[in-house]
Amino acid sequence: MKLSAYGIGIDLPRGWDGRIFRRHGADPTLHAANFPLPASDGDFCSGATAWMPHGGALLVVKEYREDHRLVPGTGLFASRSIPLPLHAGHFHPRSLQVGRPGQAGFQHFFTARGRPFCIYAVVKAPSAAATIASGAHGQVAQLSQLAKTLRFHQHP
């Protein structure tokens, strides 16, 4: 399924849930997961990760507002791309917005089409006995494939 709104597009695989939305007074956010997402959640899906199933994979793309302190293409947003393909080594429990057992996260700030973004991804080991390092390669590969389908356009 193709999702597209607010100058952001992505191709969701069969069985994935996703949405692109914009809160009043905020910039666009994309949520995508290989499990059902709650109807309402925080920008970085703290609700969804609270009940993420084993084998879960979640992708968030959050746009930030440009101002005199945040200049696209500079500082934290100097990167012009997402480091693809993603690898399990990119993910770490300390990269999570909210630390949860069995989960690891990845975040990267970048500029696309003159717009500043953060990509945030979370995986949960496929079983309670698995470790992230040994068990989440499948989810990381799914997220990498998904991220390759991201499309960005100039501000709508």
Q: In this predicted structure, which of 12-16, 118-122, 125-129 has the lowest mean pLDDT?
A: 125-129
* Nearest of 110, 102, 27 to residue 73 by alpha carbon: 110
Dihedral pair phi/psi, residue 18, rounded to 5°: -165, 165
> pLDDT at position 137, please?
84
pTM value is 0.94
CA distance 143 to 148: 9
* Nearest of 106, 114, 18, 103 to residue 63 by alpha carbon: 114
> pLDDT at position 126, please?
83
Burial of 117 (0-12, 13-18, 19+ CB in 10 A): buried
Residue 86 CB partners (closer than 8 Å, separation 6+): 106, 121, 140, 141, 143, 144, 147
What band does 133 get if pLDDT is binned at 50, 70 and 90?
A: low
Question: Coil, helix or strand for 101?
Answer: coil
Digit-coded pLDDT (tens) for 17-74: 999 999 999 999 999 999 999 999 999 999 999 999 999 999 999 999 999 999 999 9
* Whether the Cβ atoms of residue 57 and residue 139 lie closer than 8 Å to each other: yes
